[in-house]
Amino acid sequence: MTKIRTHPIDIYGNQFNRTGFVLVIMVGTFLTIINQTLLVTALPKIMDDLDISAVNAQWLITAFMLISGIMIPTSAFLLNTINNKKLFMVAMFSFAIGTVICAISTTYNMLLIGRIIQAIGSGLMIPLMQTLMFLVYPVERRGEAMGLVGVVIAFAPAIAPTLSGWIVDYFNWRYLFYIILPITMVNILLACFYMRNVINLNKPKIDVLSIMLSSLGLGLLLYGISVAGNIGWQNKITWLSCVAGIIFISLFSHRQSKLTQPFLELRVFKSKTFTLSTIIVAIIFMTMIGFEILLPIYTQTLKNLSALQSGLILLPGAIVLGIISPISGKLFDKYGVKKISMIGMFILAVATFPFFFLTEDTATWWIVCLYSLRMLGMGFVMMPLATAGINALSNSLISHGSAITNTVRQVFASLGSAVMVGIMSAAVTKYSNSYGGTTMTPLLNGLNKAFMSGFILITIAFTLCLFIASPSKEAK
């Protein structure tokens, strides 16, 4: 009988503690991801304190998403150039420095700079975690590994608004950063003992033009999508930015096909499983972000609930997702992706459908149940599909696959909020012209139309799931 190795080994052949390694990488990524949505419910207090407009305040979130999105593709190159322990430290120290600047900031510009420095670390940490988790678990346990990744990627941004709402209601908004900073420093200290180098470096030649094309393309595309929710898709700034971004991304893609050592290896899209799973997960993530934005609008505007109460409505769903993600990962290891994803998509579709029939009198408990059921379905779909996609790649392509998956997810997350809020706004404007003796307010009609768009997206993702085949569990 072959002896099963229970401990992973680093690039030097030394065994190390997987539990400590995983804990350090998960806590570090959780801290960086939670900052994506941490300021959502704190913006009004920040606006009052720093005397800034809503547009400027929104840039504290938009800039974070932009810089983080730009950094993600660069991570594939850095993971093959710098040893992963050093890269982890760089990312965490960047995040820590940004957090200090945010905590002590007395002006808007200072706070914005702090957010940008935070985002550099965040953009590196997301694909870093996914790549490292794949490499320290054997193929037959990668579902379990990605279940843990799912807890971080989905749970952190979902719980952040509730946490933020509670803190800003009782303390100064700067405590959002004061609380995170000591946890970050403790995690850096633990990384000194538990982090190990597990990636064999091939040190590809740096291609400055690829970096420029990637940064310009993603930056312009994400900017265009981000501002669309405020100024509309018909605005010249929106579509010119998006078109320019797509052109630069196309030039970047063309260049990668000509390089002997691509900055970002796009050959991963030759895998049908990887391509389909990436698209499906991105669509689902798109609806998740859209719903997280629309539901607070509904509960605060039409049901007159506070920001904290609104956040608490989302909390049970976030907890359900956090619990089910590791469970679905183990089920994936046992049953494969096909059965798990189809069950999850069915639950997700059933739970999404009632949202476009909401009224002002819809019971809050019913909303909580539906949203929690949506997150249950999401937990059965996102990480198993993401695992199947990465499993379809060779080990040498995992870092590139992780970078591409997270880049697409970042773009679709921004697209989700812009599209669904845009549909709501357009429906509100159209319905306002005929609003008179009807019982439905324009805002409620707009929300229903936006939720309907979410159901259509889920239906598309459901259909694509039919073409996913359970890959063999051979080591790549």
Q: CA-to-CA distance for 357 and 448, rounded, in angstroms?
A: 6
Token duo for residue 314: 């989302």
Supply the mean pLDDT for the chain: 81
pLDDT digits (tens, 9 = 90+) for 148-169: 777 777 677 767 777 777 787 7
pLDDT score for 24: 92
Model confidence band, residue 399 (pLDDT cutoffs 50, 70, 90): confident
* Pair 60, 39: CB distance under 8 Å: yes
> How long a stretch of residues is the chain?
476
| Residue that is written with structure tokens 């999404």 in the block | 352
Q: Percent of the chain, pLDDT > 70?
A: 93
Q: Which fold has domain 271-476?
A: Growth Hormone; Chain: A; (1.20.1250)
How many Å separate Cα 351 from the centre of its chain?
Answer: 21
pLDDT over 60 (residue 288): yes
Q: Please report, for the chain, the start and end positions of each structural domain, with discontinuous segments joined by +.
A: 8-203, 205-262, 271-476
Q: Which amino acid is at 127?
A: P
Which of 305 and 368 is assigned the larger pLDDT?
368
pLDDT score for 474: 39
Q: Which of 92, 119, 375 is nearest to 222 (CA)?
A: 119
pLDDT score for 118: 92
Q: Highest mean pLDDT: which of 132-141, 274-283, 331-340?
A: 274-283
Superfamily of domain 8-203: MFS general substrate transporter like domains (1.20.1250.20)
- Decide if 8-203 and 271-476 have a common fold: yes
Which of 310 and 457 is assigned the larger pLDDT?
457
pLDDT digits (tens, 9 = 90+) for 406-439: 788 777 877 777 777 777 777 777 776 665 544 4
pLDDT digits (tens, 9 = 90+) for 50-103: 888 766 777 787 788 778 878 877 877 787 788 888 999 999 999 999 999 999
Q: Which of 143, 194, 140 is nearest to 476 (CA)?
A: 140
pTM above 0.85, yes or no: no
Q: CA-to-CA distance for 124 and 101, rounded, in angstroms?
A: 19
Query: What mean pLDDT comes out for the span 446-467?
Result: 88
